[in-house]
Copies of this chain bind each other. A is one copy, B any other.
Amino acid sequence: MMRRDRLFLAVTLIAIFSADLYFILLPKLRSLGRGSRQFCSCGPNNLTLPGQGGLATPQLSNWTSASPRVGITADPADGGSKLGRLFAHPLYNIQIPAVGPEESLLQVEQLMEYYRRKVSRWERHMKLYSEAAAVSNITVPEREVTFDPDASWLKFHLGISRYALYSRDDPAIPQLLKDMEGMIVISADYTQDEKALKGACDCTQVVKPSGHHLKLALKMRNFAKAMFKPMRQQRDEETPADFFYFVDFQRHNAEIAAFHLDRILDFRRVPPVAGRLVNLTGEVLRATHNEDLRAVFFTSPANNTCFFAKCLYVCKTEYAVCGNPDLLEGSLSAYLPGLSIAPRISIPNPWIRSYTFTGREEWEVNPFYCDTIRQLYPYNSGNRLLNIIDMSIFDFLIGNMDRHHYEIFTKFGDEGFLLHLDNARGFGKHSQDEMSILAPLSQCCMIKRSTLLRLQLLAQPEFRLSDLMRESLEGDPLRPILTEPHLLALDRRLQKILRVVQRCVRRLGKNEVITKDFFKSTAIPQTATEMKKTR
């Protein structure tokens, strides 16, 4: 009996000690070891690329292994910010030429004039409305607007250039995010698309999905405008396997996460998006003058404020969204400048999917589809096709199969960047990597050098994409925005993108696949030098 006791105790203690050793001591020892080997101290102004075999000169054969060749930095938990180090990295500090008037989307005077007109029209309308209300003995809540020439949304609009929606260090962007999170809503209405529909049910139009019908335009006190998409799905819910991409829910958290990812990829083609707890009664129902919108509000059996979609669901509430009792999570996407001062065109994606149950588009069946596209205007010159490939990489990372159109600002012509609007169908399934989204990359076998370099950087442990996203999304008031499986899927998908490029390079050679960006090399001496090295 005594011996057995001892044996039992010994076994237990050994088990506990082994677990302790494996899970607690070893990781500590490892991180200590790492700390001592840390040598990369890229300060925010340090533009020199790391030396011996740095990130900018990857060994193609070693791309996907993500080995810690460059200095491993400390964990964010240790106080450092991976995101800060990323944005301080030379790849994120390539200088672009000074933006001249022709390279800006808008001129200050033009935008101010537009803003002034809008404010005075609002005030005129409000006066008439109040007078009418007074006649009917109704008290209308006072909704004062402020004309603020320093408003962050104005700065955002003024910062849009032919290169991107905002520059990397523009302080207006964090300010705009903050403003959207907290500013007073003075008006809520359907978006222009919704108004165009007028509640009609065009069942031949399968592309127009249900989620659209619940988005609203909110106007803030300083005339900032944002598109509100309400929460319709829990963070841990996955899109059912039987859903077609065109009937999937729109996810407010996907809109938020897509903005952060686009910024981390340095594309800057997604307008700023912030999460916000919106008061459906105070900030939407009481803030709208649209009777149609008022009519879709109701109180649920659980005494929550809800609203449902026009059109298909005009008499259905199953798929309404409800506050608790009034507060509902949603994404607020900053509006782009109005189409009257900054016209855009919407162009069908050459890799558009068939929005039917059985149809297949040519690209799905013809492996040489890209050879056709390459010869067609506007994909036959400039970097338009490369931009489409960037977009497919972005969509593959977020898992968005619903990119049927893209938009560009007409001012910048065919060389303008592509806007990555409407990303709410991303982040539906973390467990599936839909390789067909990468068709533009895998069929055309080309990629911008600058994009590839950043992707390689984000595949390194010290700049691991999931870590950067986790950190970046921590800044949103609705955190956590993505579940861990979705964050980890980003790393896995990034590896798959790099493997597709690798296969292309093996088949066609680097010179064919990795395409020089159309930067003026004089303006980016250091990086241009580095680029030559990588060849």
Q: Which residue of B lies closest to A242 (CB)?
A: B300
A70 interface residue (CB < 8 Å to B): no
Instruction: Determine whether the beta carbon of A243 is less than 8 Å from that of B317.
Output: yes
Q: Does A421 sit at the interface, judged by CB under 8 A?
A: no
Check if B204 sits within 8 Å of A301, measured CB to CB.
Answer: no
Of the four ranges (under 10, 10 to 19, 20 to 34, 35 or more), the interface on chain A belongs to 35 or more
Contacts of A243 in B (CB 8 A): 300-301, 317-318
- Interface members, chain A 247-279 (any B CB < 8 Å): 247-249
B-side contacts of A315, CB under 8 Å: 203-206
CA–CA, A320 and B313, complex, Å:
15
A142 at the interface (CB under 8 A from B): no
Interface presence of A472 (CB below 8 A)? no
Q: Is A312 an interface residue (CB 8 A)?
A: yes
Contacts of A205 in B (CB 8 A): 315
Whether a CB of chain B sits under 8 angstroms from the CB of A210 is: yes
In the complex, the answer to whether A318 meets B247 with C-beta atoms within 8 Å is: yes
CA–CA, A31 to B8, complex, Å? 36
> Does A109 reach chain B (CB closer than 8 Å)?
no
What's the nearest-Cβ distance from chain B to residue A358, in Å?
7
- The reply to whether B203 and A314 contact each other, CB–CB distance below 8 Å, is yes
Within 8 A of B (CB), among A444-459: none
- Interface membership of A6, Cβ < 8 A: yes
Measured CB to CB, the nearest residue on chain B to A321 is B242
Q: Contact: A304 with B203, CB < 8 Å? A: no
**With A242-B306, A242-B322 in contact, is A299–B5 under 8 Å at CB?**
no
Which one of B249, B299, B306, B318 lies within 8 Å of A210 (CB-CB)?
B318
> Interface digits, A219-247 against B, CB 8 Å rule (1 contact, 0 not)?
00000000000000000000001111101
A–B Cβ pairs within 8 angstroms, 13 of them: A5-B9, A201-B201, A206-B315, A241-B304, A242-B304, A243-B317, A243-B318, A244-B300, A244-B317, A247-B317, A247-B318, A248-B318, A249-B318
